A and B are shown apart, each in its own frame.
Chain A
Amino acid sequence: MSARDLDDGASLALRVRRRLLGDRLAGASLAVLLGVALACLVGPLLTGHPYDRIYYDYPRTPPSLALYPRPGTVEPALARLAFRMRVRAEDVAVGPDAVRLTLAADGPVDARVLTYFARSDLFGAARVLARSGDGTRLTVEAPLRRTRFLAGTDGLGRDLLTRTLAGGRVSLALGLMATAVALGIGVAYGAAAGYLGGRADAVMMRLVDILYALPFVFFVIMLVVFFGRSVGLIFLAVGAVEWLDMARIVRAEAMAIRRQDYVRAAEALGLTTAAILRRHVVPNTLGPVVAFAALLVPRVILLESFLSFLGLGVQEPMTSWGVLIADGARSIETSPWMLLVPACALVATLMALTLLGEGLADALDPRGPR
């Protein structure tokens, strides 16, 4: 039995769901997408690192499963700390969870220097175990601060996994919001032009043609450069750019719908144009619109990343995939993972969205599966 036989009599929604379920690629894409979205949503809370926390002791740490601090690095770090505290570190004993040592100096040791331990990324707050009679020797114990950097750290020592997931939040949210803006403008404009027809349609579509010929990427760059680099402006600019295709698609659909009998009937019943557009025209254009919107999201994410890559988008310490990739591209010689981690996240998301969008377009195609 072919897919077409299965379709007989089924509603549009049912048919689309059936075809999508049969499409393994679209299913896998959907799974990847949900995974990425979930990871970006809750991931930054689970990694144990705030996205903007700078670990001064761990810049450019390569990705690994290992626990930090590494055993060999504790003693040199203690030596550096002692130098800054202007004391000598003696009788150092490194345990699995804590270090014990004696701080010695020629004069009395002030216990306030212990704040250096808490400020370091390797140790927690230290406490005094014993004090010699003249105060020149202080025995202290400081817990080791155990951390992991699964995807390594960036040039400042920020956890890259957390940053990639937090950046993903921004990129995905921007992608969805800008698509919504483009969708809103495009559907309203296209439906109005297609339904009104005649002179209004000609003028409206001529305007779209003119806007189409504009070098829009350049306009977005100008807008962002001259009016400040706020996130809101970016998504507004991107949304304002991407509605043209949507308007064309919806217009073509609306023109076909306009000739249907039920629209004639609605007109005869005296419904207002706005009501007909809302009740009859827009809902019936939704099929192709949904498919196109799914393809629009990756384009918007790409455009945002492109702007951020040029340094015109999201600003520090906030981040997005484009910002991270730009960062990584600048340090490919010393730390290639800084490019690879966010690039993989971006490419996986874009590819999943594109494949899903194409699957949707196929499923919605009234001519049946290709």
Chain B
Amino acid sequence: MLRRLAQGVPTLLVVVTLSFFLVRLAPGGPFDLERPLAPAAMENLRRVYGLDQPLLVQFGRYLAALARGDLGPSFSVRDLSVAELLARGLPVSATLGALALGLALALGVSLGGLAAWRRGSALDHAVTALGTLGLTVPGFVVAPLLQIAFGLTLRWLPVGGWEDGAPRNLVLPVATLALPQVAVIARLTRAGLVEAAGRPHLRTLRSLGLAPRTLALHALRGAALPVVAYLGPAAAGLLTGSVVVETVFGLPGVGRYFVDGALNRDYTLVMGTVVLIGVFVLVFNLLTDLAYALVDPRVRDQG
């Protein structure tokens, strides 16, 4: 467990190093305006933010600050630190992501289960078709279509905006985020159940005359493995997928901060977002491993 955590540190270091030098080597700076600043003012700005130091010194300072948990001040939003900005954006993204993941899990497992239960039926084909559709129709197509249907034609839901997370404002973004995940989870569940049903231990249990419900539970446990393995990348995908959703629906989440930060050359904001997401990916992968061990005794025993 601790070893897994320790393995995450070099990964995070690579993330930080890569993004730091990628950002700094790029042409253009955070204080480039249409009308250039006076050289003296530019000099002062650069000194205040420590940009006049050699690149390696800057990198060392950034790492030292990062080790203390300090992400530095934002370059584009005056008077706010990156940590404060992210603290505003994270609840938005996290709410969307958590709701979408929960919805996807509930819908995906039940749809996949139904499809496997009635294998070869119209229902099965419908779920398979939905799976392909959910995988191939990108979020930036789904989102405007939902806006047309529910926001403009039916006028049931707002087209965008956050309004402190009012449930009405959450429905469409969460649906957009959840759709591809529902598709994958339904497919994985169906495939897992079909395979599990053919396994010897299930055949034995069936021959013993166990109730269908008990059998289903046993099969589900076998089918859970690929689904659990998928959840880590899925959580990361929800974070990145939210860039589109936050843009289309105008939500003030982490993804929006990242894109705006990149466009404004806000070095520290971009770095802060990447670090945050890197940590998230690591934590989710770790949780996935833990959950895996919980479901599969073979993994647990290997330690």
Contact = CB atoms under 8 A, between A and B. Distances in A.
A218 B258 contact: yes
Contacts, number: 113
Contact of B132 (A213, A227, A333, A351): A351
Interface in B258-300: 258-259, 262-263, 265, 270, 273-274, 277-278, 281-282, 285
A325 B140 contact: yes
A211 B133 CA distance: 29
A171 interface: no
A302 B259 CA distance: 18
A226 B236 contact: no
Interface residues of A, number: 37
B136 A347 contact: yes
B135 A354 contact: yes
Nearest to B12: A213
B44 interface: no
7 closest Cβ pairs, A-B complex? A226-B26, A329-B144, A350-B136, A225-B262, A217-B240, A215-B277, A351-B136
Contact of A329 (B15, B143, B243, B285): B143
A346 interface: yes
Interface string A288-328: 00000000001000100110011000000000001001101
A218 B144 contact: no
A306 B244 contact: yes
Nearest to A224: B262
Interface in A129-160: none
B148 A218 contact: no
15 contacts: A209-B11, A210-B14, A213-B281, A213-B282, A221-B259, A226-B262, A226-B265, A227-B27, A306-B138, A322-B140, A332-B147, A339-B141, A343-B145, A347-B141, A350-B138
A227 B26 contact: yes
Given A213-B282, A218-B273, A355-B132, A328 B144 contact: yes
Contact of A213 (B11, B25, B135, B240): B11
Contacts of B19: 218-219, 222
B18 interface: yes
A305 B138 contact: yes
Given A325-B144, A332-B152, A350-B136, 5 more contacts: A221-B262, A306-B138, A310-B244, A354-B132, A354-B136
Contacts of A286: none
B273 A226 contact: no
A215 B278 contact: yes
B212 interface: no
Nearest to A215: B277
Given A298-B136, A343-B141, A225 B152 contact: no
Given A218-B273, A222-B23, A333-B152, A346 B11 contact: no
Interface in A24-79: none
A277 to B, nearest CB: 28
B136 A226 contact: no
B247 A310 contact: yes
Contacts of A305: 138, 140
Contacts of A302: 138
A302 B180 CA distance: 13
Interface of A: 209-211, 213-215, 217-219, 221-223, 225-227, 298, 302, 305-306, 309-310, 322, 325-326, 328-329, 332-333, 336, 339, 343, 346-347, 350-351, 354-355
A214 B14 contact: yes
What bracket does the count of chain B residues touching chain A fall in?
35 or more
B120 interface: no
Contact of A210 (B11, B132, B133): B11
A225 B140 contact: no
A225 B138 CA distance: 22
B248 A329 contact: yes
A219 B285 CA distance: 19
Contacts of A227: 26-27
B22 interface: yes
Interface string B141-161: 101110110001000000000
Nearest to A216: B240
A41 to B, nearest CB: 22
Contacts of B141: 325, 339, 343, 346-347
A226 B23 contact: yes
A325 B258 CA distance: 22
A154 to B, nearest CB: 15
A326 to B, nearest CB: 7
Contacts of A333: 152
Interface string B162-179: 000000000000000000
Contacts of B137: 347, 350
Interface centre among A225, A332, A350 (most CB of B within 10 A): A225
Nearest to A340: B145
A339 B136 contact: no
A306 B10 contact: no
